[in-house]
Amino acid sequence: MSHAVKEQASGRIVTDAPQHRPVRVFLSYDPAEDPATVSFAFPSGKEWTFPRELLESGLRAPTRDGDIGIWPCGRVQAIIEFHTSDGVAVVQFDAQTLIRFLRHTYAVATPAL
């Protein structure tokens, strides 16, 4: 039986333009594959896998690990910055969506022995 968590989240791509572009992001966590990481995949096919702890820490205070930066934005938003050799994508999420995803990942995580 698979305990993987797969969810969709709506984000907003932040640019210099006055309007933010909506984007659907596929969030996943598979404790059988790697219990320490989560993945965020975009419709373009680009996927980032990074420590679950980074996501949790970034919801409370600015943090960075390699090509991922995460920080709270006000009381109800969070920003995730994805770096590539082509540039940077800045995506704003409702923090509650990311918190709910994290809760689901901890609910299915394999307990350490």
For residue 18, what pLDDT is reported?
72
CA distances 39 to 61, 75, 96, Å, are: 20, 24, 17
Q: Which range has the worst mean pLDDT, 6-10, 17-21, 62-66?
A: 17-21
Question: Average pLDDT for residues 23-36, to the nearest whole number?
Answer: 95
More confident residue, 91 or 1: 91
Question: Average pLDDT for residues 15-24, to the nearest whole number?
Answer: 80
Q: How far apart are CA 73 and CA 95, in angstroms?
A: 9
What is the SS3 assignment for 65? strand
Is the pLDDT at 72 greater than 90? The verdict is yes
Which pTM value belongs to this model? 0.89
Question: Average pLDDT for residues 24-47, to the nearest whole number?
Answer: 94
Is the pLDDT at 98 greater than 80? The verdict is yes
Q: Which residue has the tokens 């919801």?
A: 59
For residue 86, what pLDDT is reported?
84
Is the pLDDT at 1 greater than 90? The verdict is no
For residue 112, what pLDDT is reported?
55
